[in-house]
Amino acid sequence: MAATVAGLHEQALTQLSDVLQGVGHVDLVDFPDHLNCGDAAIWLGQLALLEANGATVCSATSRRSFHLDALAPASTVVIQGGGNFGGLYPTHHALRLRLLDALRGRRMIQMPQSIEYPGAQQRDELRRAIAAHGAFVLLVRDRRSYELASADFDCEVRLVPDAALALGPLTRREPTVDTAVQVRTDREASSAVGAELGELRFDWLDAPWAEPRRRRLAGHRLIGRAAAKTRLAALRSAELRSAQALAEANLARAVGLLSSGRTLVTDRLHGHILACLLGVEHVVVNDKYGKIRAFWETWTHELPHAHFADTWDAAPALLAEVRERQFASTRAEESV
């Protein structure tokens, strides 16, 4: 198991490149046209991997703008990675089922996902669709998901790192407060969030109306709707360029937020992953479904600047230990 960020980066490049080698022309489906910075990091990591393997990206459609006519002839269909495999998010689930049904026999790669079933119906829908498709490759990013996928699906299943790790080490910004706290505000949030732990509290889904990302997102969706309606190749190219610009803006926002504290507490998986890449010492708190624990136990538990709390109630004591070690380290450096 890799014990460094560089080691995880190398694993991501090696293992994901093994799957993507020789894919040729690619259509990326389920682009994250929203303000979730973690999904943007995944998308940019996927782009870096495809470029490293000589792939030509023909289109990048979201679940809103996708149409079968957008796909290049005989391309490999690559579906966005993340945490929506299994039916927890109905619109992503519906798009995946549609792709599997409409493109039977055509090579399709699902980039690294975590699996969570809201019920047996969604699991069985995926079972039937994957078995009928016949050329589906499912990449999963934690051992728990690998065990589920291996038992449930008749397809090639591989355990690989999250695609965001393909970005490699990132440059952090100077902190402005002692502790920043990221608390997710969506359906995966823990039901019990601990007391205030730091001077800055945020979730990257929140954005003031004046923030440029909102305008960029609105513009991207407008391009996507026009591309889906007219099916013009020029608009599909514009959609791809706009997608990259939006993803880069989201990643820059994430770097700024996650760098803002000397220490970070987060309950988002990509708050954890990006903090690892930034070298930010942090406490990561488990989410409602155990996705973070599964990833932590598979990949990141040996990293010295990452610390795991199973609940928000456990976070304050762990944060106090981290601060005490930081203080002792600073005192030692000053005495030299």
- Give the distance, in angstroms, between the CA of residue 104 and the centroid of all CA atoms in the same chain: 26
310: pLDDT strictly greater than 60: yes
- Report pLDDT for 192: 63
214: pLDDT strictly greater than 90: yes
Query: Quick check: 310 and 177 in contact, CB under 8 A?
Result: no
Q: Give the mean model confidence (pLDDT) for residues 271-296.
A: 97
Task: Please state, in angstroms and as integers, the Cα–Cα distance from residue 194 to each residue in 56, 233, 266, 269, following that order.
Answer: 46, 50, 12, 18
Q: Give the mean model confidence (pLDDT) for residues 82-103.
A: 97
- Report pLDDT for 123: 98
Query: Per the confidence metrics, is the pTM higher than 0.85?
Result: yes
The predicted-structure confidence for 314-325, as pLDDT tens digits, reads as follows 999 999 999 888
In which band, very low, low, confident or very high, does the pLDDT at 197 lie, cut at 50, 70 and 90?
confident
The predicted-structure confidence for 154-181, as pLDDT tens digits, reads as follows 999 999 999 999 999 999 999 999 999 9
- Report pLDDT for 1: 37
The predicted-structure confidence for 3-17, as pLDDT tens digits, reads as follows 799 999 999 999 999
The predicted-structure confidence for 125-142, as pLDDT tens digits, reads as follows 999 999 999 999 999 999
Give the phi and the psi of residue 220 in degrees, each rounded to 5: -65, -40
333: pLDDT strictly greater than 50: yes
First to last CA, the chain: 35
Query: Quick check: 36 and 62 in contact, CB under 8 A?
Result: no
Q: Name the residue with higher pLDDT: 118 or 2.
A: 118
- Report pLDDT for 127: 98
CA–CA dist 286, 168 (Å, integer): 24
CA–CA dist 63, 96 (Å, integer): 9
Strand partners, 29: 61, 79
The predicted-structure confidence for 218-234, as pLDDT tens digits, reads as follows 999 999 999 999 989 99
- Which residues, 6 or more positions from 156, have their beta carbon under 8 angstroms from its beta carbon? 136, 137, 138
Q: Give the mean model confidence (pLDDT) for residues 66-80.
A: 95
* Amino acid identity for residue 303 in this structure: L
Q: Name the residue with higher pLDDT: 210 or 140.
A: 140
In which band, very low, low, confident or very high, does the pLDDT at 194 lie, cut at 50, 70 and 90?
low
Mean pLDDT computed over every residue of the chain = 94
239: pLDDT strictly greater than 80: yes
- Report pLDDT for 209: 85
The predicted-structure confidence for 256-266, as pLDDT tens digits, reads as follows 999 999 999 99
CA–CA dist 223, 228 (Å, integer): 9
195: pLDDT strictly greater than 90: no
- Which residues, 6 or more positions from 18, have their beta carbon under 8 angstroms from its beta carbon? none
In which band, very low, low, confident or very high, does the pLDDT at 191 lie, cut at 50, 70 and 90?
low
The number of helix segments (H) and strand segments (E) in the chain equals 10, 12
- Report pLDDT for 210: 87
- The sign of the torsion formed by the CA atoms of 152, 153, 158, 163 equals negative
In which band, very low, low, confident or very high, does the pLDDT at 327 lie, cut at 50, 70 and 90?
confident
- Report pLDDT for 93: 98
